[in-house]
A and B are shown apart, each in its own frame.
Chain A
Amino acid sequence: MIEIKNLKKYYGDNNSIKAVDDVSFVCPDGKITGLLGPNGAGKTTTLRMISGLIKPMAGTVIVDSHDVTRDPRAVRQALGVQADMNGVYPRLTPREQFRYYGRFYGLKGKELENRIDAIIAELNMEEIAERRAEGFSRGQRQKIVLGRALVHNPPNIIMDEPTNGLDVMAVRDTRNSIRALRDQGRCVLFSTHYMDEAERLCDNIAIIVGGKIVASGAPTELMARTGKDNLEDAFVALAGQVGLERSEYGRMQNHT
């Protein structure tokens, strides 16, 4: 389980840019939680603070009872992160990449190889597992990135816009993988700006706009709360004035 409380991160002169402003939400085990927001809303910054890449100015992140500020190593051990910059090593095979990452988590020998075999089977990578990643399609590379995040069998998974730039089949594969992770009882937190994706996949959604959580709950709850019959309309209604003021467009208007 991931618990985020009053998380803050400001940038710029006199902390004028509020990238993440007092964000709180909970991601339970066995559920998919979506962090939904437009570009520049603060999704990536929030996820980076959860994974310990960025230090929060204030607030706490607790992952399975470990505080990311006090015990970042334990948090990383409990997390599988599919990062925003999701590149692969072109000269290594997927199996070698999984082995490289698995060793960071203390896996070795037969245990590591068994785990790699399981990941390869789970992500249907048998045909490409022993080939160097140079020239792989985006979908195939995405599988490597996901496999690296899962190699140590973490109870919590974070994914930053996992379907961004993928073709239809790869998007479908990725969404199926996310569902499978949830069905295995893991806590899955992923960010997206695709409304239909959030509506289809998420058990819970936290809508973030201009660094603030403006609403959270199950997709059906959010739609009921706003009286809309789809998440996109509900999002627009909930983001509303706050969204306009705190969006990149709104910030530009305030400066002019």
Chain B
Amino acid sequence: MFNNIFNIWQKELLDIVRDGKGLRQTLVVPLVLGIFYAVLNPLLGSLVESRQEGTLVLPVQGLEYAGQEFIDTFAQFDIELEPFEGDLEATITSAEEAAGLIFTPGFGENVADEQEATLIVRTNSTSGGLFGGGLSLNRLELALNAYNQRITTQRLTERNIDLSVLAPVTLDAQDLASPAQRAGAAASFFLPILVAISAVQGGMFIAIDVTAGEKERGTLESLLVTPSSDTEIFVGKLASVFTVTAIPIVLTLLGFWGASSLLPESMTEGAGALPLSVIAQAILVSLPLALFANVILMVISIRTKTFKDAQSALTPVMFGVMFTAIAAAFVPPTGASLAYLIPVYGTSAVVGTLTLGGIIPANAVLFSVIGNVLATVVGVILAMQIFNRERLLYSM
């Protein structure tokens, strides 16, 4: 029995190694993907930071009414107020600018005289894309609050009122997250999705090749007339698909880890890469997920007749797995929940928690492994119903 399984496994691996396209998809793409995610993560952070720290130029109408105190306060937030001629609202509506201020006549004098002073603020949060308007507006809001507070403080001081009346509660807030945890915060979102994608993507080409590919080439019938049993053929093929999936998972995670380690501190804010032990654990809990994904890919591919048919049929699997992994990132299970038994979801939650350096509930790893293994067993039973000689022939 094992000779036939080994024979099939060996042949399929030789076949995939000889195929440039398959090899690229199996080895190169996952590695690049891991590196890409590792670089993307801090790159986004740097982008946000540069938006937060760079000088913000704000178009203003009626700047002559603002008063020096206002201009000084905004300068502290590195916001430069620039006189604007024309239709400011139209400019902001068309997202050419993220925000603009319109000072009504006598603004500065009214503030000084403790009269009502109106400042018109117009914003467009969509300006400048994802990291544009939103971030600029945050800074504008901070500057306006600071100006308000400054004026209020002046007025209270003039009236000899203790400033503490404005702050009945003194906050002593401190973010105690370690640099490693901060590094893991973004990774805890990306990594489980990356692992789930690798589990499907890594084995997809070979899963199709050993099932629908055999039909399309016309080699399946010759294989089925050998003395090997249906089970031996299926298990041999599954073993080769699993091998080819495990490699990209390892490569993706190592690529992620390697690229994170090599990134300059300026990009990672000194947080550095995730510990290798986290990567190793993530690999271990991901392998049962890969096996489950392999069975699903094979069960679906067996029923198709050509490579193209199989590719179309498998596209929803990729989305299904991705969405489940995203769901685990947004709504993770709480405590030692049975939800860890749900294939993909449980594994993604465990990988996410591991990445975050958090404490994993005692049963979470066990549940996630059991969930995937049980689902794999059900998948294999289903596959064996389909993978009998007569049915296979008549689905050609």
Contact = CB atoms under 8 A, between A and B. Distances in A.
Given A48-B393, A54-B393, A132-B18, A76 B225 contact: yes
B390 A104 contact: no
Interface in A85-140: 85-92, 96, 100-101, 103-106, 132
B6 to A, nearest CB: 9
Interface in B1-58: 3-4, 7, 11, 14-15, 18-19
Contact of A85 (B7, B18, B229, B396): B396
A100 B225 contact: no
B226 A101 contact: yes
Interface string A52-81: 111100000000000000000100110101
A79 B219 contact: no
A88 B219 contact: yes
A174 interface: no
A43 interface: no
B389 interface: yes
Contact of A52 (B7, B15, B18, B225): B225
A91 B225 contact: no
Contact of A79 (B224, B225, B228): B225
Contacts of B228: 104
B221 A85 contact: yes
Given A53-B221, A54-B390, A145-B222, A89 B227 contact: no
B88 interface: no
Given A73-B227, A85-B396, A100 B11 contact: yes
Interface residues of A, number: 32
Given A53-B389, A54-B390, A77 B217 contact: no
A148 interface: yes
Contact of B14 (A53, A86, A92, A149): A92
A76 B226 contact: yes
Contacts of B7: 100, 103-104
Given A54-B390, A103-B7, A85 B225 contact: no
Contacts of A84: 221
B146 interface: no
Interface string B204-245: 000000000000011111101111110000000000000000
Contacts, number: 75
Contacts of A51: 225
B15 A91 contact: yes
Interface of A is mostly: loop
A135 B249 CA distance: 34
A195 interface: no
A171 interface: no
Chain A CB within 10 A, most for which of B7, B222, B229, B393? B222
Contacts of B220: 85
Contact of B389 (A54, A73, A86, A91): A54
A90 B14 CA distance: 12
B225 A81 contact: yes
B222 A83 contact: yes
B227 A81 contact: no
Interface string A138-169: 00000001001100000000000000000000
Contacts of B219: 85, 87-89
Contacts of A85: 218-222, 396
Given A76-B225, A148-B222, A88 B14 contact: no
A53 B225 contact: yes
Chain A CB within 10 A, most for which of B19, B219, B225? B225
B134 to A, nearest CB: 52
A195 B257 CA distance: 69
Nearest to A83: B221
Interface of B: 3-4, 7, 11, 14-15, 18-19, 217-222, 224-229, 389-390, 393, 396
Interface of A: 48, 51-55, 73, 76-77, 79, 81, 83-92, 96, 100-101, 103-106, 132, 145, 148-149
Given A89-B217, A91-B14, 4 more contacts: A52-B389, A85-B219, A96-B11, A145-B222
Give 10 closest A-B pairs by Cβ, nearest first.
A87-B218, A85-B218, A83-B221, A104-B226, A87-B217, A91-B18, A81-B225, A76-B227, A103-B7, A87-B219
6 contacts: A73-B229, A85-B220, A85-B222, A86-B218, A104-B227, A106-B3
